[in-house]
């Protein structure tokens, strides 16, 4: 029997499962509407707002995180994937929350951006969003290569892993670029069997959880589709480092 896999998500005391990781918890992990805190199905809620949408005190939030860590230690055979908590908090409050996970139980898997912050990643995981197909153009590919050459040392990593979660065409373009430059490439798949019409939302959440940094390739002559705008906005709320590169 495989270990039980638990999704740790940011919840509200109202127990709504209508957006963000709460929706994913309901769709794919059996969380029940009205479950505000703790275990429900294969999901574990960490409430950060009350039923009116107001942010809870940090004492209340850190207490919930402490409960989770004790629960995880009490269930060493279960796997806990901790999503990017604190999206409703200020940067300072979010950092305080993240710091509680500096020495987590071994069965807790953390977001890539947190692992990078704790210096626990062997390389940066760079998620490309927006305009990835433009990497098929020689000038854009050259600009991106120079961008990586200049910035990778500043990111504290000599090696990079490219992450993609877009269309099949974008994925093929990114894969060709990665292979041509000797870079690892992680493709985040779409699980329609599990999430149905919301598979894209779940895929994007997993991509943002896995990556340690996001780079947006922007074309002045194009309008970003909704999923790319959502990815960038969610990355900003989660405090994931975000870079922008304007492609010709």
Say if residue 223's pLDDT is above 60.
no
User: pLDDT by residue (tens digit) across 77-93?
Assistant: 999 999 999 998 999 99
User: pLDDT by residue (tens digit) across 2-30?
Assistant: 789 999 999 999 999 988 899 999 999 99
* Cα dihedral 118/44/125/167 (nearest 10): -170
Lowest mean pLDDT among 91-100, 169-178, 202-211, 214-223: 214-223
The dihedral region occupied by 119, where left means phi > 0, alpha psi between -120 and 50, and beta the remainder, is: left
d(CA 53, CA 91): 18
| R_g of the chain, CA atoms, integer Å | 18
Say if residue 126's pLDDT is above 90.
yes
Q: Contact, 209 vs 83, CB < 8 A?
A: yes
Torsions phi, psi of 229, nearest 5? -60, -40
pTM given for the model: 0.93
Torsions phi, psi of 247, nearest 5? -90, 145
User: pLDDT by residue (tens digit) across 162-192?
Assistant: 999 988 888 999 999 999 999 999 999 999 9
């Amino acid at each position: 029997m495989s270990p039980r896999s638990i999704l740790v998500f940011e919840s509200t005391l109202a127990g709504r499962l209508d957006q963000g990781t709460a929706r994913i918890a309901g769709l794919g992990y059996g969380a029940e509407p009205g479950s505000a805190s703790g275990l429900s199905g294969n999901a574990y809620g960490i409430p950060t707002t009350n039923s009116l949408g107001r942010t809870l005190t940090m004492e209340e939030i850190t207490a919930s995180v402490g409960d989770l860590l004790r629960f995880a230690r009490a269930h060493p055979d279960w796997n806990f994937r901790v999503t990017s908590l604190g999206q409703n908090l200020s940067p300072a409050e979010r950092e305080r929350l993240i710091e509680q996970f500096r020495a987590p139980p071994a069965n807790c898997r953390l977001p890539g951006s947190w692992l990078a912050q704790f210096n626990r990643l062997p390389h940066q995981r760079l998620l490309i969003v927006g305009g990835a197909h433009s990497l098929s153009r020689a000038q854009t590919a050259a600009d991106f290569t120079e961008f990586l050459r200049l910035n990778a040392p500043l990111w504290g990593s000599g090696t990079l892993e490219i992450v993609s979660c877009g269309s099949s065409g974008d994925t093929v373009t990114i894969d060709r670029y990665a292979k041509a430059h000797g870079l690892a490439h992680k493709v985040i798949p779409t699980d329609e069997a599990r999430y149905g019409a919301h598979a894209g939302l779940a895929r994007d959440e997993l991509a943002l959880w896995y990556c340690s940094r996001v780079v947006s390739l922007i074309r002045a002559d194009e309008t970003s589709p909704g999923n790319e705008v959502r990815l960038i906005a969610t990355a900003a709320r989660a405090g994931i480092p975000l870079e922008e590169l304007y492609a010709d």
